[in-house]
Amino acid sequence: MRPERHGKLVAVRIASSVFVLALSIALAGCGGSSGNPVADRGKQVYLSQCISCHAVDPAQAGGVGPAVKGSSRELLEAKLLRGAYPPGYKPKRPTQVMPPQPQLANDIDALAAHLK
């Protein structure tokens, strides 16, 4: 093998190893099971359906949506099913950007458990 080709091969192997290590560390930070299967399901739903507007960390505001940590089941049901706020609720933001998400009707309890 030519020395310059060997050097490139070593560089690629090192870069690949660094990438795999970084990915492993990042995924380890994602957390595993909470020990509560309902909350775990809520986390899966949240990560797949909500983070395009809300932050990955529900305690933080997202690019479009507010922080949702601690949202009550009543609030989730009203916003997800009807696109409205429950009676007497004061919104964190004055916008009406979030459309109803009726496909999540069966996951409201799980989302509430995750956001608790």
Per-residue pLDDT tens for 31-75? 567 789 999 999 999 999 999 999 999 999 999 999 999 999 999
Average pLDDT for 72-79: 97
What CA–CA distance (Å, rounded) separates 20 from 113? 33
User: For the residues 1-28, what does the mean pLDDT come to?
Assistant: 56
16, pLDDT greater than 90 = no
Class of domain 38-115: mainly alpha
Residue that is written with structure tokens 């957390």 in the block: 31
Q: Is residue 9 predicted with pLDDT exceeding 80?
A: no
**String of DSSP letters for 29-96:** TT----S-HHHHHHHHHHHHHTTTTS-SSTTS--SSSPP-TT--HHHHHIIIIISSPPTT---SSS--
Q: Look at the pTM and tell me if it is higher than 0.75.
A: no
Query: Which amino acid is residue 114, in one-letter code?
Result: H
pLDDT recorded at residue 24: 45
